[in-house]
Structure 1
Amino acid sequence: MSETPRAQATDAIRHADILIVGGGLSGAMLAAQLLRLPGKRSVLVIEPRAELGRGEAYSAVELGHTLNGNAARMSVDPDNADDLTQWLTEHIEAGGWPESDQQHVPISELFPPRGLFGVYVQQRLREAQAVGALNGSTVEHVRAEVVDLETLDDSVRLTLSDGQRLQGAYAVLATGMFPAARTPQTQSSGVNAAALDPWDVAAMRQLDPQSTVLIIGSGLTMVDAVVSLEQAGHRGPINVFSRHGLLPHVRRQPPAWVDFLAEDATLRTPRQLVRELRRHCRDAIARGIDWQAPLDTVRAHIGRLWNQATDAQRRQFVRHVRPWWESHHHRSPPLSAELVARLHGEGRLHIEAASFKGLAPSTHGDNVSLYIRRRGEAETSVVSGAALINSSGIEYDWRRVARPLPRQLLARGLIQPGPLALGIAAAADGAVMDAKGDVSDRLFAMGPPLRGMWWESTAVTDVASQAKALATRLTKPCSH
C-alpha cells in the first residue's frame, strides 16, 4: 500500500475521484469494493495511523484481545460468509496463529485475535489492489488527519493536519468508532486524563500487582480491560461500576431457529419485538434449546425495525431495553468470559449497579477517587483505588467529540445529529443530511456514523454490506 508522506503547508490541491476519510475497517472495505468494480478511478484514503484496515478496533497487539464474534460471523466479503473461515484455514495451515488450538473448536467457531483480523483485512485490500490495477484504478494512503471539509458545487475539498488540501468528486465519512476511553470530549469530567487505556497492557504492568483497580462501565470494553489486567500480571481486586450492573453474556453457537420476524410482518415496534422475542426464548428454554438461538435471528431485521420506528418508540427502546439488549446481543468471546467468570467467582472482581458522578479529590496519595451513586441510594459515595479505567464504551454523539473534523462539520452546518443524537443523519444510501435537512450528492457516510439510522451499524457484516452498496452508488454515472 503506497503512502503519501507528510507535507508542509502548500497552496497546491491534489485531486482524486473519491476521498475516504478514515482508513480503519470501513475505509479499507470501501476502498476494496471500489477497486473491484469495473472502470478506472483514483481513491485517496486519509488515515493518520501507519496502516490501513486496522483502525481502533483491530490495532490491538495482545492475543487475548479477540473478536467478540466467531469466524463464521465476521467475513468482510458480503458475498461469501465463509471468507474469514477460509482465510484462517490457510493461515493456520501455513503455521500462523499456533495458539488457535487452545480453543478446541472447528475453525469456523474460532474467535481470532483482533490484531490477526487486521492482517486478514489488509490482505483482502491488497488483493483488491491487484484487481484494480488491471483497470488502472489506484488507492493511496495519505497519512494525516482531516481537520476541515467543504462542499463545492461539483466536488468536496478537504484540509489535512499537515497542510495538504485534497479535492474529489465525492467524500465518504468512514471515521469508525470514537471509543469513550480514547476520545477527547467537549463535555468532560477529566476522567480520561486520570484513567488508564483499557488496552494498554504495558501501562498496567507499572501497577502494584495487588492494588485495587476501578472500572467505569461493564460492557465489552470492560471485558477487554480485565483481559489486559490479567496479561499485565495484576492480581488485586477489580471493582466495576455501571448503571445497571449487567455483564455481557458469553457468546455461544446455538442451533438454527425459525426466523419469526420474517414470518410475521405485523411485528413492527420495539415493544412488539421484545415481547415476541421473550416468548420465543421461553419456548426455546422449555425445549432444551439455547435461548441465544431465537435472539440471533433478530440480527438481520434490526436495521429495518429501527429505521421504521418513530422517535418516541426509539427513545422507549433506548431508555428501557438498551442495557439488556447490549448485554444479551453484544456478547463476550468464550475465553474472555471464562476469565471474567473466574475472577468473579474468586471474589476478585466485584460489580455494582452504580452511576459515576465524577472524580473526587484523592485522600490516599496517588490513588484515584470517584463519586458514585449506588442504585437505590439517594446520596453519593466515594470509592478509591490505585488506578481507574474508563470502559464506558463508544461515544456516538458527534456534538460531544472534541476532534477537529466533527466540530468543523457541525460548525459549517454540513451534518446534523442522527436520530437520538446517535451518529449523523443520512439518507438510506448513506448520503449525508445537512443542518437544513438537505441531502448531499457529494458527501456520504458509512459504518458507525450511521448508528442512529440503523441501530446496529458497527458489526463487520454491516460494514461489508454498506461498503458494497456505497461503492456501487459512487461509481454510477453522474446524473447532473
Structure 2
Amino acid sequence: MTSDNSRSPADVLIVGGGLSGTLLAVQLLRLPGQRRIVIVESRSELGRGEAYSATELGHTLNGNAARMSVDPDNAEDLTQWLGDYIAAGGWPESDEQHVPIAELFPPRGIFGLYVQQRLAEAQAIGAASGSCVAHVRGEVTDLQSDESGVRATLADGRAVSARFAVLATGMFAAARTPQRDSNALNAAAVDPWDVAAMTQLDRQGRVLIIGSGLTMVDAVVSLEQAGHRGPIDVFSRHGLLPHVRRQPPAWPDFLAADHSLRSTRQLVRALREQCRLAIEQGIDWQAPLDTVRVHIPRLWSQATDVQRRQFVRHVRPWWESHHHRSPPPSAKLIERLLQTGRLRVHAATLQGVEEAPPGQVQIRVRYRGEPASRVESGATLINSTGIQYDWRRVDRALPQRLLERGLIQPGPLALGIAADPGGAVLDAQGQVSAQLFAMGPPLRGMWWESTAVTDVALQAKALAARLVALQA
C-alpha cells in the first residue's frame, strides 16, 4: 500500500480501512473507469479493523464459511479461498472441527487474510484501467463539506481532500471505546481480546464479566487460552447466553409468502409457530429462524418508531441470543465450563464500579427480582457489553465534531447515523448530502442488521455503483 497523498483531491475518501472500507474499495476498483481512492486507517494493515485484527486461533467467526463470503455475487467465495488456503498448508488446526470446508468456522485473523487477498486482486484489476488506492495511516478527527467536495483533517494536522467521502468507521466496541458517561467500567476492566494481558492475571482469581453476548464468549475463550482456571461470573440484565450455531436444513421462506406480517407481535407469533412446526417434524428450530434474516432490513425500515422501540425493549435480548449465535468450538467451551461450575451466569444489572482494595475489583449489581443492590468482588473485571451504536455517547473526535457541525444526525432510535436508503448521510436539518456517505455499522438504525459480512458486502457493491454514477 502506498501512503503518498501528494495528488489531491481524490475521487473517493474512505474513512476507515476495516472490512467496510476495504470492501467498498474492492468494489470501486473492480468497476470500469479511472479513479483514485484514499483510505484513512490508523492500523498498519487494511481489511482487518476491530474485528479481524485478532491473532488467536480461538477467536473465530460466528458464521461458517458458507455464510461469510465477501463477494455478493459468489456465496462460495470464502469456501473456495479457504479450501485453497488449507491445501497450501494454512490453518492445519482446521481438521479439529471435523466438518466439510463450507461448515468450518475460520479464525478471524485468517478471515482478515482472505479480505486482504481480495483487495490485492482488485488492485490489480483497477490498475489496468488506471485506478489506485492509497492507504494514509492516521485518524480523521474532522470533516468539512461544501459543493466542491470534502476535506478531512487528521489528528496530526494533515488534510485529505476528495470529491466524496464515505464513513466506514466500523463498530465502536464498548470495551475499547471511550464513552462520555461510562468510562469507569473500561478504566477498571481488561480487554476481552487481549490474551497476553490475561496471562498476567491470577490464574485462580475470580473474574467478573459484564454482558453475556458474543463478546463474553470471546472473553472466556481468551481467558482459557491465557491459562485462567478460576471461577467466572457473568452478569447481564436478562442472563441470556448465545445459542450455538448449527447447520439446519432449508426451510420455506414464510415471510416471502406473507408480506402482511409487519408488527413485532405478528412476527414473533408467526416465527414461534414456524419453529413449533419444525420441531414437530424433527427439524432444528434454527431452520425457520434463519429464513427471517434476509427480511430484517425490509421489516425494520417499514416499521414505525413505536414498533421499533417495542422490538428493542421486548424482543431484542431474545433475538440477539437466538440469532447472533456462538461458533461450535466456543460453545463447547462455554458448555463445559457451565457443567463444571466454573462459569456462572446471573440475571443482574450493573449499577456501577466501586472503589476496591489493591489487587481487587468491585462492582455494584442488582439481581433480577431483588429490591436492593449488592457488591460483588473479584480479581479481574471484563467489559463485554458489545457495541456502542449511539454516536452521541462515543467520546471520539470525529463523531462529536460531525454532530456539532450538524453534518450528521442520529439514526432511528439513536442507533448510528441517519442516511437515505442508498447511504447518503442526512444532516441535522434532514437534508441529503451530495458528498458524504456511510455504510456498514453506522447504518444500524436504518437497517438494524448492518454489521454482518453479507450485509456489508451488499452495501459496498450498491454504494460503489452509486459513487461511480455520480462521478460520471
Question: Which bin holds the TM-score, normalised by the shorter protein?
Answer: over 0.9
**Separation in 2, partners of 1:348, 1:40:** 58
**Separation in 2, partners of 1:417, 1:435:** 9
CA-CA distance at 1:122 after TM superposition: 0.1
| Counterpart residue number, 1:431 | 424
CA-CA distance at 1:165 after TM superposition: 0.8
| Counterpart residue number, 2:48 | 54
For the pair 1:15 / 2:9, whether they are aligned, the reply is yes
Compared CA separation, residues 4 and 382, structure 1 to 2 (3 A): farther
For the pair 1:172 / 2:161, whether they are aligned, the reply is no
| Counterpart residue number, 1:128 | 122
Alignment of 1:164-313 (within 5 A): 164-313=158-307
CA-CA distance at 1:14 after TM superposition: 3.5
| Counterpart residue number, 1:368 | 361
Question: Over residues 154-195 of structure 1, what are the superposed CA-to-partner deviations in whole Å (9 max), with x where a residue is unaligned?
Answer: 201100112111111100000000000000001124110110
| Counterpart residue number, 1:75 | 69
**What SS class does the counterpart of residue 199 from structure 1 fall into?**
coil
**1:157 corresponds to which of 151, 154, 177:** 151
Question: Over residues 45-73 of structure 1, what are the superposed CA-to-partner deviations in whole Å (9 max), with x where a residue is unaligned?
Answer: 00000000000000000000000000000
Alignment of 1:6-155 (within 5 A): 14-155=8-149
CA-CA distance at 1:153 after TM superposition: 1.2
For the pair 1:2 / 2:15, whether they are aligned, the reply is no
CA-CA distance at 1:83 after TM superposition: 0.1
5+ long unaligned stretches in structure 1: 6-11
**What SS class does the counterpart of residue 48 from structure 1 fall into?**
coil
**What SS class does the counterpart of residue 181 from structure 1 fall into?**
helix
Q: Is the 8 A contact 1:216 1:391 kept in 2?
A: yes
Question: Over residues 110-165 of structure 1, what are the superposed CA-to-partner deviations in whole Å (9 max), with x where a residue is unaligned?
Answer: 00000000000000000000000000000010000000000111201100112111
CA-CA distance at 1:13 after TM superposition: 8.4
| Counterpart residue number, 1:463 | 456
**Separation in 1, partners of 2:267, 2:285:** 15
5+ long unaligned stretches in structure 2: none
Identity percentage of aligned residues: 71
**Separation in 1, partners of 2:183, 2:81:** 44
For the pair 1:414 / 2:411, whether they are aligned, the reply is no
Instruction: Indicate the RMSD between aligned Cα atoms, in angstroms.
Output: 1.1
Compared CA separation, residues 367 and 78, structure 1 to 2 (3 A): same
**Separation in 1, partners of 2:264, 2:71:** 30
**What SS class does the counterpart of residue 355 from structure 1 fall into?**
strand
For the pair 1:454 / 2:447, whether they are aligned, the reply is yes
**Separation in 1, partners of 2:148, 2:245:** 48
CA-CA distance at 1:478 after TM superposition: 5.1
**What SS class does the counterpart of residue 350 from structure 1 fall into?**
strand
Amino acid at match of 2:130: G
**What SS class does the counterpart of residue 61 from structure 1 fall into?**
coil
**Separation in 2, partners of 1:361, 1:169:** 51
**Separation in 2, partners of 1:131, 1:386:** 53
**What SS class does the counterpart of residue 14 from structure 1 fall into?**
coil
**What SS class does the counterpart of residue 373 from structure 1 fall into?**
strand
Compute the TM-score of the two structures, normalised by the length of structure 1: 0.97
**What SS class does the counterpart of residue 469 from structure 2 fall into?**
coil
Alignment of 1:333-348 (within 5 A): 333-348=327-342
Q: Is the 8 A contact 1:68 1:331 kept in 2?
A: yes
Compared CA separation, residues 191 and 310, structure 1 to 2 (3 A): same
**Over 3 Å off, 4+ runs:** none
Alignment of 1:352-391 (within 5 A): 352-362=346-356, 364-391=357-384
